[in-house]
Amino acid sequence: MATSTPSPAASAPTKRGRVRIPYPPDQVGGLPGGLGIEVYDGVGAPPTEHDGVDFYVLPYTFDPTPLRVLAEMPQVRVVQTLTAGFEHVLPYLPPGAVLANGRGIHEASTAELAIALTLASLRGVPAFVRGQDSGEWLAGFYPALADKTVLILGYGAIGEAVDRRLAGFEAEVVRVARTARTTADGAPVRGLAELPGLLPAADVVILTTPLTDDTRGLVDAAFLARMRDGALLVNVSRGPVVDTKALLAELASGRITAALDVTDPEPLPADHPLRYAPGVLISPHVGGSSSAFLPRALQLIRRQVTAWAAGEPLANIVAGPGATGAAASGE
């Protein structure tokens, strides 16, 4: 759907221009006046006129059409994605444009799924579902999350959200980020250089790292070999962070298990061996796709457009002018 309408009157902005968003202005609410608001939801045909579009909020879709439209928008100054990951946008980003990601939208939902996948895998829920279908009664003892050591790799906003949700499970949490630091409450975050020595002690490794040149293939054969026997790998980041061939070899040996919301390739073909590997639980990349998404997405759009219109700094800048260090790495 592509429509154009003036935004409701509000405080006068210092900037005038066209703003393209994926939701109607009255649904977003609170947008400043004086802007030409255009709606493109990524479902219907895209607009054919792009001159004067200064601020473009990408629709939340796996369809590449909204990205390809960027090639016809050389004047756009701000591109706002509603995804936490942003590597898919970089090849389309016009020179001089700022890219901001969806930090603040997906943390709650993705962290919930990370915990759900962890618990389901440890407690044998996939086997219970199959047993219910087949009439089997699979009684017995199963691993608990309690007393486990959980390593969170990629301690950014989503990693922090996972950490908060682990607080009640009586597990020891080890935090790893690109560089070492201390959290606001004094907890240590280890640097990536320490990872090889930390992996052998982890019962569960949860991947929440963004996909960058440094993290692509990070979980390779050497990484997996350092994981302790019986460990669980949980991936809610991006599929290419994990070397699929190396993971398949470890799963086939039965030495580790895995719970994956993201895979490489993706979508995973129906006949892909990862679907049938022992000890693997797969969800179809739904970490951010929950009822928590829309209210947070609308809030971010409202906040970012309002800041831009007033000439104030934008949040979440990950590429282009103003992107530095941890922001550009997603941590």
Q: What positions carry a catalytic annotation? A: 238, 266, 285
Asked if 313 and 321 touch (Cβ cutoff 8 Å), the reply is no
CA distance 327 to 31: 26
CA distance 61 to 177: 28
| Residue whose tokens read 């706002």 | 80
| Secondary structure string (H, E, C) spanning 3-53 | EEEECCCCCCCCCCCEEEECCCHHHHCCCCCCCEEEEECCCCCCCCCCCCE
Beta strands in 104-177 (DSSP E): 149-153, 172-177
Q: Which residues pair with 115 in a beta bridge?
A: none
* CA nearest neighbour of 173 among 209, 197, 193, 203: 203
Write phi, then psi, for 112 (nearest 5 degrees): -55, -45
Query: 2-6 and 36-40 as β-strands: parallel, antiparallel, unpaired?
Result: antiparallel
Coil vs helix vs strand at 318: strand
CA distance 277 to 133: 20
Asked if 258 and 268 touch (Cβ cutoff 8 Å), the reply is no
DSSP 240: G
